[in-house]
Structure 1
Amino acid sequence: MSKSVPSFLQEEDPDRDGDSTYEDSYSRGSSSMTNLTHSSGMASLSSLSGSVMTIYSGDLGNIEVQGNIHFSINYIQKLREFHIFVAECRDLAAADLKRGRSDPYVKSYLVPDKANLGKRKTSVKKKTLNPTFNEILRYRVRMEYLRTQTLILSVWHHGTFGRNSFLGEVDVDLSKWDFDHTQMNYLILKARTIPTLAPSTGRGEMKLAIRFMPQINSIKDAPNTGEIHIWVKECKNLPLIRAAIDPYVKCFVLPDTSRKSRQKTRVLRRTADPVFNHTMVYDGIRDADLSEACVELTVWDRDRLASNLLGGLRVGAGTGKSYGALVDWMDSTSNEAALWDRMMASPNQWVEDVLPLRILNATKTALK
């Protein structure tokens, strides 16, 4: 079963630790992996809604981009908030060619780490190519972190049945931006160029220990299966994406992304150096599964409205394959794979390491 070693070094969040954006509610408890081998790696990718994934919704389509966007940006030091005032767009392309109109709205991202802070949206303006918004999109974020980001403002047509169409975008390199400049900006919209999201440095690190306990099952005539124990000890130097973060750790043993596979630590409040001392147990593991499975550990900041990804690890063989299928999530670094190899070579023994957190690659299937 899932169990915690109590730690009194940080204040524990008294509220429920579910995140409203990236996952559903869950049931804490032991996780059986007896169905691990019955689900191929390729089949499991279709259910990665709870695991790490990047979502690009909408249709880039064949609409020829035109027009411009008027906006201003400001950093409110007292609130530690980044404000984007979206005033209006002019001369947008028509998504509805027959009627010569669109139903536009504006969406904002901060990249390269857009999963951390999420997207913001304006309201939708109906039947117009010259929408006036006069809305503020807000991010709670520290200035030093903001300086590492690029702001992307994209304009979309809100179509029926969720089929939105891309109308253009602009990007602003915030590392070079003069934040004393709070006047209106008038930028021409351009066609989308998919950015290369390079992993950012300074994600922090995690101290953990793992062990494999073979042949735990003592039931007569039952197949011999064992358990993987994952002891999340602490994290250090997590990125401060806002004034104070409330971190927790989420775990899956891939390729299983079902609720039974999902376990969490508790949320610790207002710390970039959380001490969790939390042990997660997964049973139903055969020796043969060890070369096909991968432990995914991700660290999240629980904000009021959503949980934001800070970084993660994938401890496994790092072969790129699982049960004969090519999978993107079997991408362990050399240090992550070395810890897994030490675990396999030392059954019943804890093996420990301090591993740097990273931005985890999204799976190709999840992007479809």
Structure 2
Amino acid sequence: MAGSRSGLPIPARGRNEKAADHTHRPLFLTPAALAAARTRRAAATGDDRLDFRRDVLPLLLQEVHHVYWTARVRARSGVAAAQRFADRHAAALHAGRDPRPVLAEAGLAGVAPLDLTALARPFDGERFAGPEAFRERLLQVVEADLAEAALGNAGGPLKAALDVLRDVRGVLRHAVDHGGLLPRSHAEDFHGRFLPVNSLLSAGPPASRVRQLAALVRQGTVEIAGPATEFAADVRGGRFTVSSASVPGSARKVDVLVDARIPSPALHRDTAPLTRQLLAEGLVREYTADGPDGLRYPTGGLDVTPDSFHVVDAVGDPLPGVLALGIPTEHTRWFTQVGSGRPGVETLFHRDADTVARGLLETAYPAPAPAGTAAAAAA
């Protein structure tokens, strides 16, 4: 038995058509565009922090749809026509003009834009007659996704567009890291709404693994409970229950529950002895954002300086010689996993690691006392 919020196995990555060092060059969600949005925010409100839904997401969707529309034109009319369309579409968006006439001329007037939420939550609002009906609907969605994956991550419009979500992570961090968003927008719009959708759509297993899972579902070896899966304890029976309210008859009792989620880092919930001692001695602290409403919003992330990644102690001072990067700093920064690396590409994580290494190598430590002296004996 398996289940999740979406009820959908992670969609397949598109068949790879790109070199390992391929890098998408954003046209709309750029550092310059984010800086301009901050300037507008500061002029209007006196606070340059961004609202993710109003200031950032529209630029991201422009980026995704530009790749999507261009790939559709390329698939139908060839490379030259796609380049002409891309130039005209980008020019219209940069000039603030309605792009619909450009879409209509390219034969795209009747093609619906992508709905990322619907792609990540395809069963929302549906109620099924029973497990068999849900299984058939699930397999239809999986097979449609596999067909899109077979078209490739450059030639296939859907998978090419979804690859953009991975490619713009570095730019998104310009908007998000170190309190770049308004705290409420960070919690509700970015972390609450966007990230669950982004996590499902921006990465995935090879299509071969999804086909294997689909075969196990058809065979009945794997059963997926349904959307908004609920897990509970059957205390009297000493077992667990798995069910989906959208699928009558889906409830099953199981002996073992495996939590396959990635836990969200939270400094004060960390049980590691080192972390607890650092907190107790005031050598580290949680990153907390100040809201425009006068409230403080704890994030759960380890507070580090934006430029050098020195940890910040309880009174707000950088701690010399102590630096941090990666998962403990999640929520202070975004997408801190080493898995963001790629062969042949100097990713942001690699640059961060270089910064930490330089910080450690450049730290001035006192020279060791000569052997045989009182200081050496004390040391």
Task: Name which one, 1 or 2, has greater alpha-carbon Rg.
Answer: 2
TM-score above 0.5, yes or no: no
What is the TM-score normalised by the length of structure 2?
Answer: 0.23
Normalized per residue, the structure richer in strand is 1
More relative contact order in 1 or in 2 (CA 8 Å, sep 6+)? 1
Normalized per residue, the structure richer in helix is 2
